[in-house]
Structure 1
Amino acid sequence: MNIKNIIFIIIFLLLLILVSPRIKFKNEFSKKAIPKNIKEIDNYLLKEELQFSLEKNTKKEIIWYKETQKTKYSVVYIHGFGASKNEIYPVPNNIAKALNANLFFTRLKGHGINNKNAFRGITTQDWLSDIDEAIEIGKLIGDKLILIGTSNGGAASIWALANYPDEINSAVLISPNIFPYDKRTNIVYYPWGRQIAYLITGGYNKFETKKDKRKEHMTIKSHSSSVQHVDAIIAMMGLVKLLNSYNFDEIKTPLIITHTPNDHTVDPIKINEFIKNYGGIKKDIPIILLENSHAHVPIGNQSYKSAQNTSYFTKYAVDFINKTNKQ
């Protein structure tokens, strides 16, 4: 092969890359028509969730402190990738109870449905719409919004902190997905990223859940589906791309965070960089008991070791929220 042919092939490949399709992740979404009257919000959520065949204990839901009325604080929980509102049970419930607060559990689109095609066609914008809805409901049911997010829900929470700087009082993050540990997920950012992801996965991703659930909580299901369409991974990586486009030092909302140093689901180095650069009041809570050195979600009653961190972490979170609101 002569030099001219080599140059021609190189130019052709470069042109092919330049014109090849890339997935575009935009910071835009459709807002939902949420009732302004607090008395109508339960019926709104019921009507919304009846459209889907949901697994037990996965629907969007408000746990009212006493009556259907606004409280000083509201707590909003955003679950992780492939998970449900029970992911770190009973941490959100206990924080809300300690603050005498109404509690809202959201459900990101596609979750809570036991069907491998539940995530087909899901986009980052769908989840942004759900996050926006959660923030609006949080504002409706409480004067001061406390946002809690785990893993992908942590990524969603950081996006919310950047986009609603004056509407969130404090944030609680558990192992936020600043970036996945598995860097093969970068593929979706490449030219032909969607097509390559489909080719590699066959269109579906297998999600493994732990078997060692605590017997007294066997009815509490933390994960909503074991097989997901690859569109869910693409949506997740879109959220990751958006949150990493922000300057973390410009986000000022008081923040309490915990994570494990050897996490093999999300990148712990990226979490440490996020904590270092974060611009608001912050407290990094070390976890004292781990399932193993690679544990991802270190609190909640889903396993023996993580359950022992639940009260410890809850106390620190509540004390932090109370302290920052006295300053």
Structure 2
Amino acid sequence: MQTASVGVLIIHGFTATLESVMGLVDPLREMGVRVSVPVLRGHGADSPEMLRGVTWQDWMKDAETAFLELSQSVDRVFVVGHSMGGLIALNLAAKYRERIDGVVVAAPAIRLVSMLAPDRPLHFLTPILQSVVRNWDLKVAFSDPDEDGARVHYSWAPTDAIRSFFDLISFTHSRLHDISCPVLILHNRAEKTVLPESASIVYDNIATPEEDKELVWLERSEHQMFCDCEKERAIAIIVDYIRRKIAA
């Protein structure tokens, strides 16, 4: 099977480090595909302070630049996004309908557990909170206690960056009907960051034909699925999906 002309763009989540998605890289490269893993604006620094003043449009621009660069070197492109990266992947699919061969969204952050997020009861308070609270503490949840030491994202984030992330959620929800390429949705049934209903929202609202969209559930993992107790299964599901699409 010739895969030299295939590329995979992997997009990390909000406040995340590359460690959160690096488990995907080697298995994909072993298939012979080119892999691109950009660091989104404000991420990858020693301090979350680098996120202050950064907007979702900046993250979209960074991902789009990486996508266009990858597209110039391969004939077929797949996009994999985790959490907020899944939202960015969906927006790329909406914009570049004919240039993306498939999208994988892992725990797409379209509906958060946080009561302050879009479509949640206290979302109306976010502008007020932004005026009085500069930073929000973040927690990393793992179902596997052995993974608690993994540095997968910042320990806090500026409130203005979180509000911009919320704006991206609303914008992405409005664009779901513009997505028609093949899509795989991978989600965790019991996680405490992104509500499981997010998977159904994406599945039900994209324009992708029924035969070209798939929804797969993990039963035990928390939000950082590529670093948690079912990481081998999560990675294998995605690698197998891309292998099947290449063969087809």
Map of 1:267 onto structure 2: 195
Question: Is residue 2:169 matched to residue 1:240?
Answer: yes
Specify which of 198, 213, 217 is matched with residue 286 of structure 1.
Answer: 217
Q: 5 Å matches for 1:277-316?
A: 277-280=205-208, 281-288=212-219, 290-291=220-221, 295-298=222-225, 300=226, 302-303=227-228, 305-307=229-231, 310=232, 312-316=233-237
Question: Is residue 2:29 matched to residue 1:96?
Answer: yes
Question: Is residue 2:39 matched to residue 1:135?
Answer: no
Q: Deviations over 1:193-249 (max 9, x none)?
A: 53x12245x21011123584559xx7x7322x212111211121121111111243x
Specify which of 295, 300, 317 is matched with residue 238 of structure 2.
Answer: 317
Map of 2:79 onto structure 1: 147
Q: Deviations over 1:108-141 (max 9, x none)?
A: 1111112242111111221121121121122123
Q: Taking structure 2 as the reference length, what is the TM-score of the superposition?
A: 0.85
| Bigger Rg, structure 1 or 2 | 1
Give the AA of the match of 2:10. Answer: Y
Give the AA of the match of 2:152. Answer: S
Q: 5 Å matches for 1:141-180?
A: 141-180=73-112
Q: Give, in angstroms, the shift of residue 275 of structure 1.
A: 1.2
Does the CA-based 8 Å contact 2:18-2:44 persist in structure 1?
no
Calculate percent identity across the aligned residue pairs: 21
Does the CA-based 8 Å contact 2:189-2:217 persist in structure 1?
no
Specify which of 152, 155, 160 is matched with residue 226 of structure 1.
Answer: 155
Distance across 2 between alignment mates of 1:152 and 1:123: 13
Distance across 1 between alignment mates of 2:194 and 2:141: 17
Map of 1:76 onto structure 2: 9
Does the CA-based 8 Å contact 1:259-1:297 persist in structure 2?
no
| SS of structure 2 residue aligned to 1:71 | coil
Map of 2:45 onto structure 1: 113
> Which ranges of structure 1 fall in alignment gaps of 5 or more residues?
1-69
RMSD: 2.6
Q: Deviations over 1:78-111 (max 9, x none)?
A: 001110222033123312322x111111111111
| SS of structure 2 residue aligned to 1:103 | strand
Does the CA-based 8 Å contact 1:77-1:85 persist in structure 2?
no
Distance across 2 between alignment mates of 1:77 and 1:107: 10
Question: Is residue 2:137 matched to residue 1:209?
Answer: no
More moved, 180-189 vs 254-263: 180-189
Whose relative contact order is higher, 1 or 2, with alpha carbons under 8 Å and at least 6 apart? 2
Distance across 1 between alignment mates of 2:50 and 2:41: 9
1:226 and 1:314, CA in 2 relative to 1: closer, same or farther beyond 3 A? closer
Does the CA-based 8 Å contact 1:95-1:317 persist in structure 2?
no
Give the AA of the match of 1:181. Answer: V
| SS of structure 2 residue aligned to 1:180 | coil
Give the AA of the match of 1:97. Answer: E
Q: Deviations over 1:16-73 (max 9, x none)?
A: xxxxxxxxxxxxxxxxxxxxxxxxxxxxxxxxxxxxxxxxxxxxxxxxxxxxxx9311
Map of 1:255 onto structure 2: 183
Give the AA of the match of 1:296. Answer: H
Distance across 2 between alignment mates of 1:306 and 1:318: 14
1:247 and 1:117, CA in 2 relative to 1: closer, same or farther beyond 3 A? closer
Distance across 2 between alignment mates of 1:247 and 1:83: 24
Give the AA of the match of 1:282. Answer: K
Map of 1:22 onto structure 2: none
Give the AA of the match of 2:241. Answer: F
1:163 and 1:197, CA in 2 relative to 1: closer, same or farther beyond 3 A? farther
Q: Taking structure 1 as the reference length, what is the TM-score of the superposition?
A: 0.66
Give the AA of the match of 1:259. Answer: H
